[in-house]
Amino acid sequence: MAVVTRRCPHRRPASGSDLNGSALRAELALPDEDLSAACAYLTDEGLISVDWTSHHTPATISLTHEGIRLMEELEEEEEAQPDD
C-alpha cells in the first residue's frame, strides 16, 4: 500500500470509488505478476477488494474500510513529521 501511495499519491480513491487495474498497472509500470501478487497480499490483509479478470489480473481495485483507515493513519503520520 505504501508503494502505491508514495509513487502515486493522487490515486487514493475516495470511499466507495474504484481504481482501474490496467491504468494503475501502467502508471506504476509494474508487471502483471507483481501487481497481482501485491493485490492478492493486500486483499488477504483486508485492505483492498479486487475484481479479477479471467487472467487473474486486477480489473478494479477498491479500498476497504480498514484500508481507508490505514491510509488516513499514514497520512496523519506524514503530516506530523517535521520537514527535513
Q: Which three cell numbers stand for residue 11?
A: 490515486
Is domain 2-76 in CATH 1.10.10.10, yes or no? yes
**Quick check: 14 pLDDT over 80?**
no
What distance in Å separates the CA atoms of residue 59 and residue 61, rounded to the nearest whole number?
A: 7
- Write down the mean pLDDT value for the chain: 84
Tell me the pTM: 0.73
Beta-carbon contacts of residue 50 (< 8 Å; ≥ 6 apart) = 21, 39, 40, 43, 58, 59, 60, 61, 62
Which has more confidence, 78 or 1?
Answer: 78
Among 14, 53, 10, which residue's Cα sits nearest to residue 35?
53
**Quick check: 5 pLDDT over 50?**
no
